[in-house]
A and B are shown apart, each in its own frame.
Chain A
Amino acid sequence: MAAAIEISGLTKRYGVGDAAVDALKGVDMIVQPGEVVGLIGPSGSGKSTLLKCLGAVIEPTSGRMALAGEAIYDNGWRVSDLRALRRDRIGFVFQAPHLIPFLDVTDNVALLPMLAGMSNARARDRAREMLVALDVGHRAQARVPQLSGGEQQRVAIARALVNQPPIILADEPTAPLDSERALAVVRILNEMATRFSTAIIVVTHDEKIIPTFQRIYHIRDGRTYEEAGQGRAA
Chain B
Amino acid sequence: MINLAGRDILNGWGKFVFTGLGLGLLIGVTLSMAGIYRGLVDDGRVLLSNGGADLWVVQRDTLGPYAEPSNVRDDAYRALLGVKGVVEAGNVTYLTMQIEHQGSDVRVMLVGFQPGHPGEPGYLVAGRPITRSHYEAIADIKSGFRLGERIRIRRHEYTVVGLTRRMVSSGGDPMVFVPLRDAQEVQFLKDNDALVNERARIAANPAFNRPAVPGLLDAVQASQANSRTVNVVMLRLAPHADEAIVAGEIRRWKHLEAYTRADMDEILVAKLIATSAKQIFMFLVILAVVSAAIVAFIIYTMTLNKVREIAVLKLIGARNRTISAMILQQALGLGAIGFIVGKTAATLWAPIFPKYVLLLPGDAVLGALLVLVICALASIVAIRAALRVDPATAIGG
Contacts and interface: CB of A to CB of B under 8 A. Distances in A.
Interface of A: 47-49, 51-52, 55, 57-58, 80, 83-84, 86-88, 92, 94-95, 98, 100-103, 107, 110-112, 114-116, 120, 143, 159, 169, 171
A180 B119 CA distance: 94
Interface stretch (B205-213, B230-238, B313-321): B313-321
Nearest to A143: B11
Interface stretch (B150-158, B168-176, B360-368, B387-395): B387-395
A94 B394 contact: yes
Interface of B: 1-2, 4, 7-8, 10-12, 308-309, 312-319, 322, 390-392, 394-397
A220 to B, nearest CB: 15
A203 to B, nearest CB: 9
B215 to A, nearest CB: 99
Contact of B316 (A49, A92, A103, A143): A92
Contacts of A86: 315-317, 391
Nearest to A118: B1
Contacts of B2: 103, 107, 110-111, 114, 120
A48 B392 CA distance: 9
A229 B221 CA distance: 127
Contact of A92 (B4, B308, B315, B322): B315
Contacts, number: 85
B317 A112 contact: yes
Contact of A58 (B4, B309, B317, B392): B392
Contacts of A95: 396
A205 B99 CA distance: 88
A170 B316 CA distance: 13
Contacts of B315: 55, 57, 86, 92
A101 B309 CA distance: 8
B310 to A, nearest CB: 10
A49 B395 CA distance: 10
A49 B331 CA distance: 36
Interchain residue pairs A-B with the least CB separation, the first 6: A48-B397, A87-B317, A102-B11, A102-B8, A57-B392, A98-B312
**Residue in B11, B313, B395, B396 with the greatest tally of chain A CB atoms within 10 Å:** B395
22 contacts: A51-B395, A52-B392, A52-B395, A52-B397, A57-B392, A58-B392, A80-B319, A83-B317, A84-B317, A87-B316, A94-B395, A98-B308, A98-B309, A102-B10, A102-B12, A111-B2, A115-B1, A115-B319, A115-B322, A116-B317, A120-B1, A159-B316
B319 A83 contact: yes
Contacts of A98: 308-309, 312, 394
B276 to A, nearest CB: 48
**Residue in B308, B312, B319, B392 with the greatest tally of chain A CB atoms within 10 Å:** B312
A132 B92 CA distance: 89
A103 B314 CA distance: 16
Nearest to B11: A102
A100 B322 CA distance: 15
Nearest to B314: A83
Nearest to A49: B397
Given A47-B397, A48-B395, A51-B397, A115 B7 contact: no
A47 B395 CA distance: 11
Nearest to A91: B316
A115 B7 CA distance: 16
Contacts of A116: 317
Contacts of B394: 92, 94, 98
Contact of A57 (B8, B318, B322, B391): B391
Nearest to A100: B309
Contact of B395 (A57, A115, A120): A57
B196 to A, nearest CB: 86
B395 A92 contact: yes
A228 to B, nearest CB: 26
B316 A115 contact: yes
Contacts of A80: 319
A87 B313 CA distance: 10
Contacts of A110: 2
**Residue in A52, A102, A110, A159 with the greatest tally of chain B CB atoms within 10 Å:** A102
**Residue in A52, A100, A114 with the greatest tally of chain B CB atoms within 10 Å:** A100
Contact of B312 (A58, A88, A100, A114): A100
A49 B396 CA distance: 9
A94 B317 contact: no
Nearest to B391: A57
